[in-house]
């Protein structure tokens, strides 16, 4: 059993045959959240540590590489117990350091511009494997549960979080648990390519996480060129589900919009975006595409991006061009993993 997969109740049950005193679970949980292995759990009797180590695993991932970018973001490459490799990126921000985590090995959504989907989906990550990215990086940066180095989490690494719904919801519970890392659910952002049934299910759970929706186009015809999933869900459906999320939770919804010259940046696109997001609290996050090997999609220049952003603002839409981080260290979704599994 991977102990980081468990919540405190489950951990209590697992520990009962070894030591049924209830404080043990809290002790062990704190060590786990600090990114430690059994051998480091110094307030536990050695015999208990040994027994646990024989039968279970504490941390499900190890950091294989860390590469610091010129802009101070750090790209991480991790190895899972079964040898699979995943990645993430740490972004220092004035408003709180943010860790971008992966939710799947690979991805089956097949977006045209994205490196994560190139080899398809390998498997889902467990809740503990998602949490393990946070515990490992927090520790790597010198943090622990009482002195956290990570304030915000974005589920924007490889994978589609809503395609791994149960594990992702459990991860959100675990990462926000007061006896663990205690990162508030409101400090978690979940990014989806727009799986509408699951967006509604998430809204109904009322977790209070921020929802980001990768919209990328205002017309189905163009969205289908960029995203395979657009064949299943129309722009109208995706917007309706986002609106439901806003109505149900009162949380502002973020729309991610990768700018592709000649495809989705006209004045009409800006007008349609304004129309689609009218009447809900929304923000448009305009993305400058990172170039991906083997993908022939041209983004736009910074100037063109700024001009499109201006058009939106003139129409009364809240919009910013996303500060791109880590492009010199393959910061975008799935790029580093691909470069390593290919080489
Ligand atoms: N599957 C989820 C989360 C992972 S992708 C989703 O689709 O939202 C996180 C964000 O990165 C998405 O908005 C995605 O469209 C964007 N992205 C993917 N590849 C990119 C690239 N090459 N350059 C810039 N952004 C990219």
Number of the ligand 1 atom closest to the C-alpha atom of 212: 8
Distance between Cα 268 and ligand 1 center (Å): 23
Q: Are residues 110 and 147 in the same domain?
A: yes
pLDDT attached to residue 332: 59
Distance between Cα 41 and ligand 1 center (Å): 38
Q: Are residues 46 and 80 in the same domain?
A: no
Residue with tokens 């975008």: 332
Q: Give me the helices (H) in the chain, please.
A: 8-15, 23-33, 46-55, 127-140, 165-175, 196-205, 220-226, 235-249, 267-276, 302-314, 335-342
Q: Are residues 17 and 66 in the same domain?
A: no
Distance between Cα 180 and ligand 1 center (Å): 29
DSSP-assigned beta bridge partners for residue 189 = 154, 210
Number of the ligand 1 atom closest to the C-alpha atom of 324: 24
What is the length of the chain? 343
Distance CA 341, CA 90 (A): 21
Give me the helix-helix angle, 235-249 and 196-205, nearest 10°: 0
293 given a catalytic annotation: no
pLDDT attached to residue 265: 94
Number of the ligand 1 atom closest to the C-alpha atom of 114: 19
Q: Are residues 19 and 165 in the same domain?
A: no
Q: Are residues 65 and 51 in the same domain?
A: no
CATH classification at residue 29: 1.10.150.530
Q: Are residues 183 and 264 in the same domain?
A: yes
275 given a catalytic annotation: no
pLDDT attached to residue 30: 96
> What is the DSSP-derived secondary structure letter of residue 71?
T
pLDDT attached to residue 262: 86
Q: Are residues 131 and 42 in the same domain?
A: no
Distance CA 218, CA 201 (A): 24
Distance CA 15, CA 156 (A): 34
pLDDT tens over the chain, length 343 residues: 999 999 999 999 999 999 878 899 999 999 999 999 999 999 999 999 999 999 999 999 999 999 999 989 999 999 999 999 999 999 998 889 999 999 999 999 999 989 899 999 999 999 999 999 999 999 999 999 999 999 999 999 999 999 999 999 999 999 999 999 999 999 999 999 999 999 999 999 999 999 999 999 999 999 999 999 999 999 999 999 999 999 999 999 999 999 998 889 999 999 999 999 999 999 999 999 887 777 778 889 999 999 999 999 999 999 999 876 666 666 555 666 777 665 4
Catalytic residue among 100, 111, 309, 333: 333
Catalytic residue among 87, 129, 160, 256: 87
Q: Whose CA is nearest to atom 1 of ligand 1?
A: 160
Q: Are residues 82 and 215 in the same domain?
A: yes
Q: Are residues 140 and 38 in the same domain?
A: no
pLDDT attached to residue 110: 92
Whether the Cβ atoms of residue 330 and residue 75 lie closer than 8 Å to each other: yes
Q: Whose CA is nearest to atom 12 of ligand 1?
A: 214
> Ligand 1: which residues within 6 Å by Cβ?
109, 111, 113-114, 156, 160, 191-193, 214, 256, 258, 287, 289-290, 292, 332-333
Which of 13, 29, 55 is the endpoint of a domain? 55
Q: Are residues 127 and 17 in the same domain?
A: no
pTM for this predicted structure: 0.95
Domain span at 126: 61-342
Q: Whose CA is nearest to atom 5 of ligand 1?
A: 156
DSSP-assigned beta bridge partners for residue 259 = 288
Domain total in the chain: 2
Angle at 93 between CA 290 and CA 277, to 5 degrees: 65
Tell me the Ramachandran region of residue 216: left when phi exceeds 0, alpha when psi lies from -120 to 50, beta otherwise.
left
CATH classification at residue 248: 3.20.20.70
pLDDT attached to residue 343: 46
Which of 24, 40, 55 is the endpoint of a domain? 55
Which of 55, 75, 99 is the endpoint of a domain? 55
pLDDT attached to residue 335: 65
Q: Are residues 267 and 135 in the same domain?
A: yes
Q: Are residues 176 and 281 in the same domain?
A: yes
* H helix or E strand, kind and range, residue 255: strand 253-259
Distance CA 241, CA 228 (A): 18
Number of the ligand 1 atom closest to the C-alpha atom of 158: 4
pLDDT attached to residue 323: 76
């Amino acid at each position: 059993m991977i102990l980081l997969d468990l919540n405190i109740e489950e951990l209590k049950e697992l520990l009962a045959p070894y030591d049924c005193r209830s404080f043990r679970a809290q002790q062990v949980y704190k060590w786990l959240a600090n990114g430690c292995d059994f051998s480091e759990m110094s307030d536990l009797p050695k015999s208990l540590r040994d027994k646990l180590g024989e039968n279970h695993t504490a941390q499900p991932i190890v950091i294989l590489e860390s590469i610091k970018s010129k802009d101070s973001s750090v790209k991480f490459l991790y190895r899972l117990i079964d040898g699979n490799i995943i990645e993430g990126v740490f972004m220092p921000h004035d408003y709180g350091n943010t860790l971008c985590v992966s939710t799947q090995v690979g991805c089956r959504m097949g977006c045209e511009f994205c490196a994560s989907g190139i080899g398809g989906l390998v498997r889902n990550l467990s809740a503990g494997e998602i949490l393990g990215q946070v515990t490992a990086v927090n520790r790597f940066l010198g943090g622990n549960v009482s002195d956290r180095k990570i304030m915000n989490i974005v589920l924007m690494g490889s994978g589609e979080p809503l395609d791994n719904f149960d594990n992702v919801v459990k991860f959100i519970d675990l990462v926000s648990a007061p006896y663990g890392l205690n990162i508030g659910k409101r400090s978690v952002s979940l990014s989806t390519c727009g799986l509408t049934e699951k967006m509604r299910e998430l809204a109904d759970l009322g977790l209070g996480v921020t929802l980001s929706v990768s919209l990328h186009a205002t017309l189905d015809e163009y969205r289908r060129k960029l995203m395979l999933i657009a064949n299943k869900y129309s722009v109208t459906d995706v917007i309706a589900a986002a609106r439901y999320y806003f109505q149900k939770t009162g949380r502002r919804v973020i729309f991610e919009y990768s700018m592709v010259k000649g495809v989705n940046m006209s004045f009409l696109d800006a007008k349609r975006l304004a129309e689609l997001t009218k009447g809900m609290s929304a923000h448009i996050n305009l993305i400058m595409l990172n170039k991906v090997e083997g993908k022939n999609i041209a983004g736009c220049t910074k100037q063109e991006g700024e001009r499109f952003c201006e058009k939106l603002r003139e129409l009364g839409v809240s919009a910013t061009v996303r500060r791109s981080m880590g492009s010199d260290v393959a910061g975008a979704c799935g790029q580093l993993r691909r470069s390593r599994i290919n080489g």
